[in-house]
Amino acid sequence: MLKFSRSEIEIRAANFSPLAFGSGGVLVFARTSPHFREGKLLTPFSMEPIKVEGEIASRKLTLETGKLAKQATGSAVVSLGKTVILATVVIAEPREGCDFFPLSCDYEEKYYAAGKIKGSRFIKREGRPSDAAVLRSRMIDRPIRPLFPKGTTNDVQIIATVLSADLEVDPVATAINAASAALMVSGAPFAGPIGAVRIGLQDEKLIVNPTYSEEEEGDLILTVAGTAEAITMVEAGANEISDEKMLEALELAHSEIKKICELQLELQKKVKPQPIEISVTEKNKEAVAAIEKIISPADIDTISGKTKNEIKTVIHALEEKVFAALAKEIEAEKFNKRELKEILNEKFEKNLRKNVLEKDLRIDGRKLDEVRALSAEVGVLPRVHGSGLFNRGETQVLTIATLGGPGKAQIVDTMDRDYKRFYIHEYNFPPFSVGESRRRFGPGRREIGHGDLAERALLPVLPPKDKFPYTLRVVSETLSCNGSSSMGSVCGSTLALMDAGVPIARPVSAIAMGMVTDKDSEGKFQNYKILSDIQGLEDFAGDMDFKIARTEKGITALQMDIKVKGISHKILAEALERGQKGCAEICAAILAAIPEARKELSEYAPLIISVKIDPDKIREVIGKGGEMIQKITAECGVEIDIEDDGMVVITAPDQESGKKAKEWVERIVYVPKAGDEFDGKVVRIMDFGAFVEILPGKDGMVHISALAPHRIEKVEDAVKIGDHIRVKVVEVDQMGRINLTRIMPDGTVIERAPRPAHSSGPRGNGGGRPPRRF
């Protein structure tokens, strides 16, 4: 223990990990502080930053520790090009009575990192994380969580803060690498390191850490994380690419991951962190022995059934048998019901795995590659634009599609990108779907993640915006869940979009693949079996959740998480092949419900009409201060969106109002020519003639001599402001001024009187009147 005076603390406190103030102004430090190296406490003056460098896809990758965030248990600054991310790890005391690993991972966007100020007019501070930040937080958590000892109860918090963003490459892979590096130098019992990269595909060429533009123009956005031995996490959106190309991309990713892991090990070797002891929940051996006397292997074998309720009924009966037999011990608080349930559940999980590995026997009696019973319906709801109900076993998802105009697109403002979102998928998971009752606080991270996955799955088959300019909002309501509800929302989205009349290229189907292994305490295994269409208990007790969405042409989305140290290329290939067969079966059920997208949109869907105009005419359609466009929308009851290229998109509630607005826009941009006839309105009167509005915002002049078939002394003798008269264009001069003549009710076209020879005006009018000025 070291002692400092209060004055010294002001200088030094920010550089250590204090636990408490002792008596007499003593600050106490734990020997698990990250500033102990080889049993010696390093002061701020002796601890120099430690750095290692490498290269990934021609970009410099730097890992540094010891300079920033010194009070954290572990910290690392990782730079890739001009992107800089600070990751911190704090390992706190164990949570008493906790039956799960309390790990939290946060990816924090900082607008200053991109040289931006938040777009909100009133709030500039970063607040609630964006969906993009939530998704990146999940991608940090998923590969790290399985690499901590099972039963860990210490609070572990990882924060990845973006300090600088180059706006070229997505920072998520760098954030995962930074989080892993911070863990490696913290001394935590983390079975890493892990590395992460992004892979793109453009013109059949795979790209490591592609730029945003390469991702947008390419056919693949793939994020992969893994250890030096194997891949542990996959997240992908793809433009219907083949299984072979996806496997090639995964192999390339892992080759780069190995380099990143080597750098982290080099950094750890230089730091030599002191190991941190954590709390791991241990089983009550007496309770285990007691249950083994009460529950036989034959009892455990009775746990099976087609439905979740059937299985739970058997489990609850066995629990009650245990509670009754150990009632005295429970009353004496020697055992508690929760730990007894956990021990019984562990016995059930081991038996489930054993049956699959040794007998190819699943808990509901299915074959390893068998998909649960399927059914699909469309047109379930009468007033919505499109709806689909998808059932797979006990999992039921109702999806509703709503169409809107381009103006309904969501404007997304994030740290690194601003864009419009024209296809929006939202996934809801209410507690009643699993027979529970709990308070609801809006969408959680899981719901945001599942919604994003299903959205990526459908994006490749949507019609191009120039041919189908609608904004699409699709909402999936999970009504009942026994596993794979996210993949059910993909199938439900396909049904709802086709029912709404959206001309998707091909139906998308999806399946969740699982795996059971004979893993040991370190997560290593020799034998495994792949399971198709896993249900809830198989997901919970199994070692892999591999979600696959695809069309008959290729893969559109992937998501994989595992509970073992990693899986090989061979296992990935086998899972993809089995998944392709399952998706084909599911696609057949979708096509049985609706063979193709409806030819007509719903009568309740808005009508969209597009008009292409000269971009130079956009200002005329908008009008001064937006006056003209506001007038059109108000009088016609429509919405109008104008693109920079001159595409005017009118969203109308019906054909009549849409046609009226379209004609109005066409009249505004029409360029009159000699011989055109119009029904106009007198808007201004001068001594020498009347100005008539022939098109919205466009006037022409009828000379006094062309207002009547006979000579008149005053313009008012023929017309008044507000009169509607028919006119004909005589000429459009070089300055764009329109000269008109009147057409009388009987069809007579009045010829303008010839100009007198003695007229001295530039456009002599026979009466010595001044020239036209407008």
Pairing assessment for the beta strands 220-226 and 195-202 based on DSSP bridges = antiparallel
Q: Write the burial class of residue 82 (CB in 10 Å: 0-12 exposed, 13-18 middle, 19+ buried).
A: middle
**What is residue 672's predicted lDDT score, i.e. its pLDDT?**
87
Taking residues 673-693, report their average pLDDT.
91
What's the CA gap between 238 and 557, in Å, rounded?
6
Q: Encoding tokens for residue 701? A: 């002049």
CB 247 within 8 A of CB 576: yes
What is the arithmetic mean of pLDDT over 20-28?
Answer: 36
Q: Is 124 exposed, middle or buried (0-12, 13-18, 19+ CB in 10 A)?
A: exposed
What pLDDT, in 10s, does the model give residues 655-668?
A: 889 999 999 998 88
Reported as a pLDDT band with limits 50, 70 and 90, residue 753 is: low
- What is the pLDDT, as a whole number, of residue 5? 39
pLDDT at 748: 77
- Is residue 13 scored above 70 in pLDDT? no
Highest mean pLDDT, choosing among 174-188, 289-303, 674-688, 697-711: 174-188
Percent of the chain with pLDDT over 70: 91
For residue 683, name the pLDDT band (cuts at 50, 70, 90).
very high
Q: For the chain, how are helix, strand and coil distributed in percent, rounded to 5?
A: 35, 30, 35
> Could you tell me if 672 and 694 are in contact, meaning their C-beta atoms sit under 8 angstroms apart?
yes
Write out pLDDT tens, residues 240-281. 999 999 999 999 999 999 999 999 999 999 999 999 988 888
Per-residue pLDDT tens over the stretch 527-586: 999 999 999 999 989 999 999 999 999 999 999 999 888 888 899 999 999 999 999 999
For residue 362, pLDDT over 90 is answered with yes
Instruction: Check pLDDT > 80 for residue 20.
Output: no
The dihedral over CA atoms of 509, 577, 252, 454, expressed in degrees to the nearest 10, equals: 10
Peptide bond preceding 193 in cis form (omega within 30 of 0): yes
**Residue 752 banded pLDDT, cuts 50, 70, 90:** low
pLDDT tens-place string over residues 609-652: 988 999 998 998 998 899 999 999 999 999 999 988 898 999 99
**pLDDT band, residue 751 (cuts 50/70/90):** confident
pLDDT at 381 over 80: yes
Report the predicted TM-score, pTM, of the whole model to 2 decimal places: 0.84
Do 424 and 451 form a contact (C-beta atoms < 8 A)? no
The reported pLDDT for the residue numbered 511 is 97
User: Residue 671: its pLDDT value, please?
Assistant: 84
Q: Inter-axis angle of helices 131-144 and 172-186, to 10 degrees?
A: 40
Give phi and psi for 593, each to the nearest 5.
-80, -40
Q: Which helix (H) or strand (E) holds 16?
A: none
Q: What is the mean pLDDT of the chain?
A: 88
Instruction: Name the least confident of 34-38, 619-623, 654-658, 741-745.
Output: 34-38
pLDDT tens per residue across span 196-239: 999 999 999 999 999 999 999 999 999 999 999 999 999 999 99
**C-alpha Rg value of the chain to the nearest Å:** 36
pLDDT of residue 769: 40
- What are the tens digits of pLDDT across the range 120-156? 788 899 888 999 999 999 999 999 999 999 889 999 9
State residue 572 phi and psi, 5-degree precision. -60, -45
Q: Helix axis angle, 569-593 relative to 485-500, nearest 10°?
A: 40
pLDDT of residue 47: 55
Judged against a pLDDT cut of 50, whether residue 55 lies above it is answered with yes
Q: So what's the pLDDT on residue 771?
A: 37
Pair type for strands 647-652 and 471-480: unpaired
Q: Collect contacts of 94-101 with beta carbons under 8 A, ≥24 apart.
A: 94/153, 94/154, 94/155, 94/278, 94/279, 95/153, 95/154, 95/155, 98/153, 98/281, 99/281, 99/338, 99/342, 101/145, 101/148, 101/151, 101/152, 101/153, 101/156
Contact 222, 200 (CB under 8 A): yes
pLDDT score recorded for residue 148? 93
pLDDT at 24: 36
Average pLDDT of the residues in 95-111? 91
- The per-residue pLDDT for range 402-439, each reduced to its tens digit, is 999 998 999 998 898 888 999 999 999 999 999 999 88
Compute the distance between CA of residue 107 and CA of residue 162 in angstroms, rounded to an integer.
8
Per-residue exposure over 191-228, b if at least 16 CB sit within 10 Å of its own CB, e if not = bbbbbbbbbbbbeeebbbbbbeebbeebbbbbbbbbbb
pLDDT band at 27 (very low <50, low <70, confident <90, very high): very low
- Which contiguous run of DSSP H or E holds residue 314? helix 308-325
Res. 768: pLDDT tops 70: no
pLDDT tens-digit map of 453-499: 999 999 999 999 888 999 999 999 999 999 999 999 999 999 999 99
